[in-house]
């Protein structure tokens, strides 16, 4: 279920978000006319791959997973959106359809705003265009590095590398530990690692016995 409200009182704070702060006062006023606040429950699909992209989102709180399959289901891409991120970023200024599906992994809070007005404002603001170019470059470099780690032929290594990808992407440092504050299932790890559930269980059991991690109630702690 989605609950939607027109944004009014929090506009000054939202204007300082990284994806908005380069707009002038007048530009942000135009964007703010279509700004909406929503609460979305965990498990709800936010949009599907191939749907018309009529709006963009900023995640204020919670976790979103994005994913894309090819037509034969042999190719699978996934990533996570975290607080204060703009999405979908891939295809910004070019695609008219969503390049992937997005699902709320936890209860989330988002801002939405019309794609057309946002893109038009970006195109006339040099500072905003530089922000987009830098962000897209960062996404490309991030995915290049990630591919290098995930192309290993060894199934157990793929599981380990996926776990450390999750740690580096979602982990929160608490003292000497890193905790992933979201539930992660064995099925999800197996799918994303391209391995069987049994291999995933064996790797996690070995890492627990070696004192590298704890895994309890679907939550990981790394040491």
Those residues whose C-beta lies under 8 Å from the C-beta of residue 16, and which sit 6 or more positions away, are: none
**Are 161 and 195 within 8 A, CB to CB?**
no
User: The tokens of 16 are what?
Assistant: 């300082």
Domains of the chain are: 2-146 (2.60.120.10), 152-222 (1.10.10.10)
Residue 79, pLDDT score = 86
Q: CB within 8 A of 47, min separation 6: which ones?
A: 53, 98, 101, 102
Residue-by-residue DSSP string for 105-130: SS-EEEEEEEHHHHHHHHHT-HHHHH
pLDDT tens column, 74-88: 557 788 898 899 999
Side-chain-side CA neighbours of 213 within 13 Å: the count stands at 20
The whole model's pTM is what? 0.82
Q: Cβ(169)–Cβ(80) under 8 Å?
A: yes
Write down the pLDDT at residue 36.
93
Locus of tokens 């289901």: 73
Distance CA 44, CA 89 (A): 20
Give me 212's structure tokens: 């590298």
pLDDT tens digits for range 126-176: 999 999 999 999 888 888 877 776 667 788 998 998 899 889 888 999 999
Measured distance CA(87)–CA(168) in Å, rounded: 20
Sign of the torsion formed by the C-alpha atoms of 133, 134, 136 and 137? positive
């Amino acid at each position: 279920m989605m609950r939607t409200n027109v944004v009014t009182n929090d506009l000054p704070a939202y204007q300082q978000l990284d994806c908005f702060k380069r707009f002038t006062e007048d530009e942000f006023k135009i964007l703010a006319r279509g700004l909406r606040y929503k609460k979305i429950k965990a498990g709800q699909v936010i949009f599907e791959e191939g749907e018309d992209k009529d709006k963009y989102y900023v995640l204020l709180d919670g976790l979103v997973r994005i994913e894309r399959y090819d037509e034969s289901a042999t190719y699978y891409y996934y990533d996570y959106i975290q607080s204060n991120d703009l999405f979908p970023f891939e295809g910004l200024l070019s695609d008219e359809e969503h390049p992937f599906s997005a699902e709320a992994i936890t209860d989330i809070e988002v801002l939405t705003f019309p794609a057309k007005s946002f893109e038009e404002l970006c195109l006339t603001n040099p500072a905003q265009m530089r922000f987009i170019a830098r962000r897209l470059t960062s996404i490309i470099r991030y995915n290049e590095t990630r591919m290098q780690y995930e192309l290993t032929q060894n199934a157990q290594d793929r599981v380990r590398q996926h776990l450390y990808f999750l740690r580096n992407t979602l982990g929160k440092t608490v003292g000497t530990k890193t905790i992933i504050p979201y539930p992660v299932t064995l099925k999800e790890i197996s799918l994303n690692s391209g391995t069987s559930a049994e291999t995933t269980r064996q790797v996690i059991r070995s890492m627990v016995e070696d004192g590298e991690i704890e895994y309890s109630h679907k939550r990981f702690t790394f040491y």
